[in-house]
Amino acid sequence: MGTPHSNRTVKRAPWRSHFPAQGNSAGFHVVLQGSCWLLPDGGEPVHLQVGDVAFMPRSRGHAIADSPGGGPGSETGPETVLRCGAYYLDYSRAHPALAELPDVIHLPARVGHYSPLRSAIDLLGHELDTQDGSGAVAPLLEVLLLFMLRTWHEAHPSDTGWVAALRDPAVHTALQAIHAEPAAPWTVQSLAARAGLSRSVFAQRFTATLGTGPLTYLTWWRMTCAARLLRDTDVLLRVVAEKSGYTSEYAFAKAFKREFGVAPGRFRAQGRPEAA
Can you give the pTM of this predicted structure?
Answer: 0.79
- Start-to-end Cα distance in the chain: 24
Cα separation of 8 and 6, whole Å?
Answer: 7
User: Which position has the higher pLDDT, 192 or 159?
Assistant: 192
| Res. 91: pLDDT tops 60 | no
Q: Are 214 and 201 spatial neighbours (Cβ–Cβ below 8 Å)?
A: no
**Residue 111: per-residue pLDDT:** 64
Predicted confidence (pLDDT) per residue in 198-245, tens digit: 999 999 999 999 999 999 999 999 999 999 999 989 999 999 999 999
Predicted confidence (pLDDT) per residue in 239-276, tens digit: 999 999 999 999 999 999 999 999 999 999 987 544 33
Q: Are 16 and 25 spatial neighbours (Cβ–Cβ below 8 Å)?
A: no
Within 8 A by CB and 6+ apart from 190, the residues are: none
Within 8 A by CB and 6+ apart from 28, the residues are: 53, 54, 55, 56, 84, 85, 86, 144, 148
